[in-house]
Chain A
Amino acid sequence: MSSTDKRKVTADDIENLLEIFKQSGWDEMHLQTGELEIFLSNDPAAQGPRAAAAPAAAPVAASTPVAVAAGTPAAPIVISAAGPSGHAPIPAGQVAIKAPNLGTFYRSPKPGAEPYVEVGQQIETTTEVCLIEVMKLFTPVQGGVKGIVREIRARDGQMVEFDEVLIVVEPN
């Protein structure tokens, strides 16, 4: 049995799915394709498609391109990537800003400068929230979501892996 018809899911695909979901009147939608698994729910307490069976699989929010979450601030969108999470769960109704690749996480534009964001701060989708450095190449990460910063999970100057939760935001 092959799965040669598998193709990669793009951010546009996800946005289309969100649109379909919003217009459908459905309570929940669970889609699994290849390595990507998407769980959409109107229930703010929703914990993902198999929360009861696998409490360790934390529902984590949209990763890069983080803009995926942007169009739908009201809906608690849970994109649960299969695989070991190792992270503390993201509280219901909040979303994670995740690392676009492995690199060193910096909270400030340069040493000694003010951090990009603090807990409690309102951010817009285009707000720069941190830097990820790879071999002296510093790439700003945008929030991708409008909301209030609730947690800063990554530690300044520490290596973060791809998809690791950096900052937790409560959309508004």
Chain B
Amino acid sequence: MPIRRVLSINRGEIAARVVKAAHALGIEAVQAVSQADRESRAAQLADRVVVIGPPPSRQSYLDAQLLVHTALQTGCDALHPGYGFLSEREHLARLCAEHGITFIGPAAETIAALGDKLQAKAIAEAAGVPLVPGTAQLAQAEDAVAAAESLGYPVLIKASAGGGGRGMFIARNREDVQAGFDKASNEAREAFGDGTMYMERYVENARHVEVQVFGDGTGKVIHFGERDCSIQRRYQKVFEEAPCAAMPDALRAQLHRSAVDLVASLKYRNAGTVEFLYDMDRQAIYFIEVNARIQVEHPASEQVTGHDLVRLQFEIAGGEPLRWIQDQIPVRRHAIEVRLNAEDPYRQFQPSPGRITRWSPPQGAGIRLDSHCYERYLVPPYYDSMVGKLIITAHDRESCVLRLQEALARFEVEGLTTNLPLLRFIASHPDFVANQLNTRWLEQVLLPAFEATRE
């Protein structure tokens, strides 16, 4: 059934993106906001704004009951979760289904299956997708030591229920395993309510690559190419590129096939991202996880394929068939997305909310900005610090990098402390320009060099 009115339950740039996509399809948009977001861009764009609760997320954007109640009371027939917050909570998807609200995302069962990391790996394995050599769950530190000795150090010890870099540590020898296992397990129990741990071989020279997929819910799946998100700080992505220029075509084909096979085996519905580790020394890929949502970095894939993925989310959720075939989705350009955050890169990335007094983004060919910010906008202190995504597109990586450098140089923001100096520094660094980097490059090479520029 086509969607007539959607409740947008996220905030920031993605909420504005969702409202615009809805309007482009003739769908009415109701924006749920916390009290702190009454003046937000999404609230300005929406047909109706409802204040659901006070600023803290727990009483607003994280309250599934409240949001579904809001959808029902405002006559919405669909709900778009955005990313983060409740986007990958089985509970929300189930609640929507129970009340006749179309959840714009995967089925609740799919979210549940993929949200459990061990189960997700079993699904991948069953679909013939390569995994990092590793273990099933580990009962205690002694088991972990034995497993590590047979896998070979270094190893990565992770919480089954963890995510976003939380609940994991690297062990380089027996002592590390013994010292860290119980502590990490206790922390995981504390943070996620589940202390289950498992282990993997740690790949030293890796890139983070991920495939953007879309399924129609019947088993048909297409992909929109891959993104290279290797530039990360504390497992938070800072730069995202499409395609992964460092990957040979043969491996790329295997990457895409693996991603499609995995989600097709689940009869996946709507947008998803299959994440892989690209082991550059062994020229191999290993499955990491599936993110059952639209991601922050989806615009990079939109730019290189020419498809509007949020619009496609609405169409699939509204019951339209996936009318594209894979050959209609060639990757022809290169795109780089960088995340502009209200944080001070010179002071341990301390968040720096406040009122924007000057907002002057670059404009021109190949420059896209996805942001909810404007001059005089108050960046509230309650939420994450991302204030925008600058997405640069060109016909190849080399010209894309040049255009990025030039665009970042012209980006002016005042009133907030932002990470712009860091973004500029990365974009101009010889390793980045030459695309000679891995997932640890930002923390180990770039940040020390960046900090040295301060002195």
Residue of B nearest to A63 (CB): B54
- Check B51–A163 contact: CB distance below 8 A: yes
- Check B51–A134 contact: CB distance below 8 A: no
Among A4, A34, A81, A134, point to the contact of B66 (Cβ < 8 A). A134
Q: CB of A113 within 8 A of chain B?
A: no
- Check A102–B350 contact: CB distance below 8 A: no
- Check B70–A34 contact: CB distance below 8 A: no
Contacts of B380 in A (CB 8 A): 35
| A3-B353 CB under 8 A given contacts A35-B380, A83-B38, A163-B35 | yes
Contacts of A162 in B (CB 8 A): 34-35, 51-54, 60
- Check A102–B35 contact: CB distance below 8 A: no
Residue of A nearest to B342 (CB): A2
Contacts of B52 in A (CB 8 A): 101-102, 161-162
Using a Cβ–Cβ cut-off of 8 Å, how many residues does chain A contribute to the interface with B?
Answer: 23
Q: CB of B55 within 8 A of chain A?
A: yes
Q: CB of B352 within 8 A of chain A?
A: yes
- Check B53–A102 contact: CB distance below 8 A: yes
Contacts of A171 in B (CB 8 A): none
| A102-B69 CB under 8 A given contacts A83-B39, A162-B35 | yes
A 1-19 binary contact with B (CB < 8 Å = 1; else 0): 1111010000000000000
Residue of B nearest to A133 (CB): B69
| A137-B65 CB under 8 A given contacts A2-B344, A102-B50, A162-B51 | yes
Considering the complex, which residues of chain B in the window 316-348 have a beta carbon less than 8 Å from any beta carbon of chain A? 344
Contacts of A137 in B (CB 8 A): 65
Q: CB of A135 within 8 A of chain B?
A: yes
Which secondary structure characterizes the binding site on chain A? loop
CA distance A1 to B417 in the complex (A): 7
B 366-396 binary contact with A (CB < 8 Å = 1; else 0): 0000000000001011000000000000000
Q: CB of B119 within 8 A of chain A?
A: no
Q: CB of A103 within 8 A of chain B?
A: yes
Contacts of B352 in A (CB 8 A): 2, 4
- Check B350–A4 contact: CB distance below 8 A: yes
CA distance A93 to B351 in the complex (A): 41
Among A4, A34, A133, point to the contact of B351 (Cβ < 8 A). A4
Q: CB of B416 within 8 A of chain A?
A: yes
B 58-69 binary contact with A (CB < 8 Å = 1; else 0): 011001011011
Q: CB of A25 within 8 A of chain B?
A: no
CA distance A123 to B36 in the complex (A): 31
Among A102, A133, A163, A164, point to the contact of B70 (Cβ < 8 A). A102
Residue of A nearest to B357 (CB): A1
Q: CB of B74 within 8 A of chain A?
A: yes
CA distance A112 to B207 in the complex (A): 65
Residue of A nearest to B350 (CB): A4
Contacts of A35 in B (CB 8 A): 35-36, 55, 378, 380
A167 vs chain B, min Cβ distance (A):
18
B101 vs chain A, min Cβ distance (A):
12
Among A34, A81, A134, A135, point to the contact of B381 (Cβ < 8 A). A34
A102 vs chain B, min Cβ distance (A):
4
B 20-61 binary contact with A (CB < 8 Å = 1; else 0): 000000000000101110110000000000111111000110
A128 vs chain B, min Cβ distance (A):
21
- Check B39–A134 contact: CB distance below 8 A: no
CA distance A161 to B69 in the complex (A): 12
Considering the complex, which residues of chain A in the window 124-172 have a beta carbon less than 8 Å from any beta carbon of chain B? 133-135, 137, 159, 161-164
Residue of B nearest to A101 (CB): B53
Contacts of A104 in B (CB 8 A): 69, 73
A153 vs chain B, min Cβ distance (A):
16
CA distance A36 to B378 in the complex (A): 13
- Check A103–B51 contact: CB distance below 8 A: no
What are 8 A-B pairs at a CB distance below 8 A? A1-B415, A2-B352, A6-B353, A101-B52, A102-B50, A134-B69, A162-B34, A162-B53
Chain B positions within 8 Å of A, measured between CB atoms, are 32, 34-36, 38-39, 50-55, 59-60, 63, 65-66, 68-70, 73-74, 95, 344, 350-354, 357, 378, 380-381, 415-417
Given A101-B59, A103-B69, 20 new contacts (CB under 8 A): A1-B357, A1-B415, A1-B416, A2-B350, A2-B417, A4-B351, A4-B353, A4-B381, A35-B35, A35-B55, A35-B380, A83-B38, A101-B54, A101-B63, A102-B53, A104-B73, A134-B66, A135-B69, A159-B70, A162-B34
Chain A positions within 8 Å of B, measured between CB atoms, are 1-4, 6, 34-35, 81, 83-84, 101-104, 133-135, 137, 159, 161-164
